[in-house]
Amino acid sequence: MEKTKILLVSDGGVTPDLMQKLFELEQYGAEVTMVKDMDVHSIDLITDRMHLLECEGIQAAPTFRPLLDVCQDKDIICVHITSINREVIDACRNLKVVACMRGGIENVDLPALTERGIKCINSPWRSAHAVADFTVGMMIAESKNIARSHKAIFEGKWRKVYTNQTYIHDMRTRTAGVIGCGHIGSRVIERLVPFGCRILVYDPFKSLEEVKRLGYDAVTLEELLRESDFVTLHLRYSEKTDKFFGSKEFAQMKPTAYFINIARAGIVDTDALLHALETKSIGGAAIDVFDVEPLPSDSPFLKLDNVTLTAHLAGTSSDTMRNSVEIAFDDLKNYLQGKPMLNVCN
């Protein structure tokens, strides 16, 4: 029987060492080879590529030219951030599956794959644990002034009084509003439960009944905004979620509530967020994602005393990349054994 030919394309994130796991697919009838995409050989180049893809689309990202020389006879191609664009797809004669080992698939031309009947799978929860950990950390850092105290000490100050002095509370007495209960939102909820806080959940892509069936306290967006002391966003950016959260939503929040965005900047109207913080119509914010990254030195965010800012770090974890490979491995093993793949995108 002819073997299924699998090509692995490693980079500076999903490294050749991590990719070694996928060579175990050979015991299921595969022939596995690997190349390294030297155009994205480091984490900073990968971060730049991700930002380019999110802002300008797959057409803005270059083709890894050596891939065209080795992809023609492959049945499966596994990539992390390397582009699987129409040029690459057209160069393949036998392609049946593309494994994109990311939560998103911005580096894959999904319509072109679908036209050819080629399946695309991804690793949807690869960074979910890391982002959920980070989210709760940001809630605590902002409400307990951890980052501000750290900064003050390095400046030679022993600061004891902060803007939110009158509304610093124990987590167990607070209400957390989680918007989006998918891979990340559900894990944020899991982490909040032991704190003893009340948790309200709204998901724009699920009915209240669906959210309730998941075991959550399902509410409308209006109720969540009105009652929550923390509002945290966990939605994927798309045309449907562009500027999902704006002036109307900030106006409905408590003046002592904290807004957390670890998802994508485009989901939030940045001008509305800045206005809410500058006028103190909300209590504070913790933000990991921005319209322009790195954050410019003249950014209005840098003039505020009621924000905690981080440099798009939420998904950063050695485990994230390992998870990517393990999720892809399980799905491709299913494929080779004639079983359904679990993370099909088209």
pLDDT digits (tens, 9 = 90+) for 126-157: 999 999 999 999 999 999 999 999 999 999 99
Do 120 and 139 belong to one domain?
Answer: no
Active-site annotation holds for 264:
yes
The answer as to whether 51 is a domain residue is yes
Which is it for the CA torsion 322, 325, 328, 332, positive or negative? negative
Strand order in the sheet with 198-202: 198-202, 175-179, 230-233, 258-261, 284-287, 307-309
Q: HSE-up of 106 (CA within 13 Å, CB side)? A: 20
Q: Please tell me whether residues 20 and 159 are part of one structural domain.
A: no
My answer on whether 258 and 180 are in the same domain is yes
Are residues 45 and 187 both part of a single domain?
A: no
Round to whole Å and give the CA distance between 293 and 191. 29
How does pLDDT run across 30-85, given as a tens digit for each residue? 999 999 999 999 988 998 898 889 888 999 999 999 999 999 999 999 999 999 99
**What distance in Å separates the CA atoms of residue 91 and residue 71, rounded to the nearest whole number?**
7
Judge if 269 and 143 occupy the same domain.
yes
**Is there a contact between 330 and 125 (Cβ–Cβ < 8 Å)?**
no
Its pTM stands at 0.85
Strand 258-261 to 30-36 pairing:
unpaired
Q: Which of 236, 293, 322, 326 is catalytic?
A: 293
Higher pLDDT pick, 52 / 198? 198
Domain hosting 34: range is 4-126+317-336
Q: Are 166 and 197 in contact (CB under 8 A)?
A: no
* Residue 268 shares a structural domain with residue 291: yes
Q: What is the CATH number of the domain that holds 173?
A: 3.40.50.720
Peptide bond into 340 cis (omega under 30): no
- Do residues 73 and 101 both lie within one domain? yes
Q: Is 126 a catalytic residue?
A: no
CA dist 102 and 106 (Å) reads: 9
23-37 burial code (b ≥16 CB/10 A, e <16)? eebeeeebebebbbb
Residues 72 and 169 in one domain: no
**Residue 207 and residue 77 share a domain:** no
The verdict on 100 and 132 lying in the same domain is no
Q: Do 214 and 282 fall into the same domain? A: yes
**How many domains are contained in the chain?**
2
Residue 257 near residue 197, CB atoms below 8 Å: no
| Residue 343 counted as domain residue | no
Shared domain for 294 and 150, answered yes or no, is yes
Helix (H, G, I), strand (E, B) or coil at 203: coil
Residue 194 lies in a domain: yes
3-state secondary structure 218-262: ECCHHHHHHHCCEEEECCCCCCCCCCCECHHHHHHCCCCCEEEEC
Chain segment 203-224, per-residue pLDDT in tens:
999 999 999 999 999 999 999 9
- At 55-69, the pLDDT tens digits run 889 999 999 999 999
H-run or E-run covering 318: helix 318-336
Question: DSSP string spanning 74-106?
Answer: -SEEEESSS-B-HHHHHH-SS--EEEE-SSS-T
Helix (H) or strand (E) holding 4: strand 4-10
Residue 226: active-site member: no
